[in-house]
Amino acid sequence: MYLQVTIVLIFLVLLSITVSFPTGCWQRTPAKTVCDFRYWSPPLLDSQYKIGPYQVEVKKLSGNFSSQAFIGLMGDRATSSAFILLDCDQSDVSLPANTFTSNLNWVRSLYLNKCYIRNGIAAGTLSFLIGLTSLQVTNGIFGPMNAYSLSGLMNLTNVFIQAEFLEKTFPAGLFTKLTAVTNITIQTSSLTSIPPGAFDGLTSLTSIDLSGNLLMSLPVGTFDNLVSLMRLTLDGNNWKCGCHFTWLSTWLVYSGVTATMTCSSPVAYKGFALNRAIAELGCTTSTSSPKIRSRIIAVLINSIPFIISIFKAVIIDAIILTEVLIYLFNRARVHLSFDELS
């Protein structure tokens, strides 16, 4: 028994010797490798690990990130828990266009934590992450973005950004190509404005959270075409409530979307919910806006299958009831006939 245990231990030691981890990295679990950016020597290669990791963390990142750093991580890692995390420890970082190469189609989540990306994310930088479903950016700074910074992420469903936008806004078109996205959260990001058409074309979007920013107003019709939207969180901004928000108040009534929005000014309406402020101001509401009408029509169209199913159920119940009544009527006639004969 002891001999067998000794042989197994010797085998494991020899196996560990034959596999050399990349410099500055260690394997925390069979699935996860952690690298210290100050000491590592990319690129990471499958041959450097006993079991190829599908969870990669790079700590203490600063300065220019290594191009093609992950190009040697190949193979089948298509699992829902596959991710890459870049932790910059509140340092300035530059991501080259070839940071994420085509072999990374197995990555499902990308986390950027405490990264000051002052030069933004160039068009195409993330486009090879075609399997990405979640993008999370926290405790950092985003520099100038462009309409194609998130291009190629056709499977992305969740966007969570809790980092400061240096330009206090984001470009029109940044999100409009994310046709699969269901949730967009941009919290405490110092946003002062939202571009017109910011969410156009996102027919799968069910939740938007813009809480904790510096927004005072919104472009008319910002949410009009979001036919799947169910939840809208707008608390913690500097909303200046007035009749210019009549469109939003009317849209909320007719869309059925659950929303939270509290006025910051004028002083007389501070703390009021938007609909209450609009009512107190005596603003005239209307459904004449083409976009509001289109939203109402969209809601009605989406309700058609439910209405048809109810109608079918009523028809079927009516048919069954009619057949029962006919059966009872015929039985009653038979009994009457027997009674007359007797």
Rounded CA-CA distance 257/224 in Å is 11
pLDDT 10s digits, 270-295: 999 999 999 999 987 655 455 555 55
Measured from the Cβ of residue 314, the count of other Cβ atoms closer than 10 Å reads 10
Rounded to two decimals, the pTM is: 0.78
Which residues pair with residue 136 across a beta bridge?
111, 160
The Cα–Cα gap between 70 and 62 comes to 17
Per-residue pLDDT at 18 exceeds 70: no
Q: Are residues 141 and 183 in the same domain?
A: yes
**Nearest of 280, 247, 276 to residue 260 by alpha carbon:** 276
Q: Is residue 2 part of a domain?
A: no
Q: Give the residue, 156 or 332, on which the prediction is more confident.
A: 156
User: What whole-number distance in Å separates Cα of residue 70 and Cα of residue 183?
Assistant: 28
Residue 197 is assigned to a structural domain of this protein: yes
Helix (H, G, I), strand (E, B) or coil at 324: helix
| pLDDT exceeds cutoff 70 at 17 | no
pLDDT at 176: 93
**Domain-located, residue 7:** no
Could you tell me which of 103, 106, 110, 105 has the C-alpha nearest to residue 84? 110
Q: So what's the pLDDT on residue 337?
A: 60
pLDDT value, residue 13: 44
Has residue 79 been placed in a domain?
Answer: yes
Do both 229 and 320 map to the same domain? no
Write down the pLDDT at residue 15: 44
Span 333-339, average pLDDT = 61
- The DSSP output letter for 272 is -
Same domain for 170 and 304?
A: no
pLDDT at 341: 55
pLDDT mean over 61-72 = 93
- Alpha-carbon distance of 215 to 213, in angstroms, equals 6
Place of tokens 């110092």: 190
Whether the pLDDT of residue 263 is over 60: the answer is yes
Question: Which of 279, 298, 317 is at the close of a domain?
Answer: 298
Domain presence at residue 165? yes
CATH number at residue 223: 3.80.10.10
Is the pLDDT score of 300 beyond 70?
no
Which is higher by pLDDT, 342 or 174? 174
Residue 294 confidence (pLDDT)? 56
∠ CA 135-221-124, rounded to 5°: 30
pLDDT-derived band at 100 (thresholds 50, 70, 90) equals very high
Residues 36 and 157 in one domain: yes
Q: Which domain holds residue 39?
A: 19-298
294 and 304 co-located in one domain = no
Residue 1, pLDDT > 70, answer no
Query: Residue 116: which residues within 8 A CB-CB, separation 6 or more?
Result: 88, 90, 91, 92, 93, 140, 141
Mean pLDDT of 178-195: 97
Average pLDDT over residues 144-170: 95
First to last CA, the chain: 98
Locate all alpha helices (DSSP H) within the chain, ordered by sequence: 2-18, 246-255, 274-281, 290-341
Q: Which of 185, 194, 231, 230 is nearest to 212 (CA)?
A: 185
Same domain, 242 and 211: yes
Cβ partners under 8 Å of residue 36, min gap 6: 24, 25, 59, 60
**Tally of domains within the chain:** 2
Do residues 316 and 203 both lie within one domain? no
Same-domain pairing of 199 and 318: no
Judgement on whether residues 209 and 330 belong to the same structural domain of the protein: no
| pLDDT (average), residues 191-200 | 97
- Same domain for 277 and 142: yes
- pLDDT tens digits, 24-62: 999 888 889 999 999 999 999 888 887 777 899 999 999
Examine residue 1 and state whether it is found in any structural domain, yes or no: no
Together in a domain, 221 and 306: no
- Residue-level pLDDT at 5: 46
217: pLDDT strictly greater than 90? yes
Count of CB atoms situated within 10 Å of the CB of 193:
17
Average pLDDT across the chain, whole number: 86
Q: Let me know whether 292 and 331 are in one domain.
A: no
Predicted pLDDT of residue 236: 96
105 lies in a domain?
yes
| Position 49 in a domain | yes
Residue 326 has pLDDT above 90, yes or no: no
Give the list of residues 6+ apart from residue 137 with CB closer than 8 angstroms, or none.
Answer: 111, 112, 113, 115, 160, 161, 162, 163
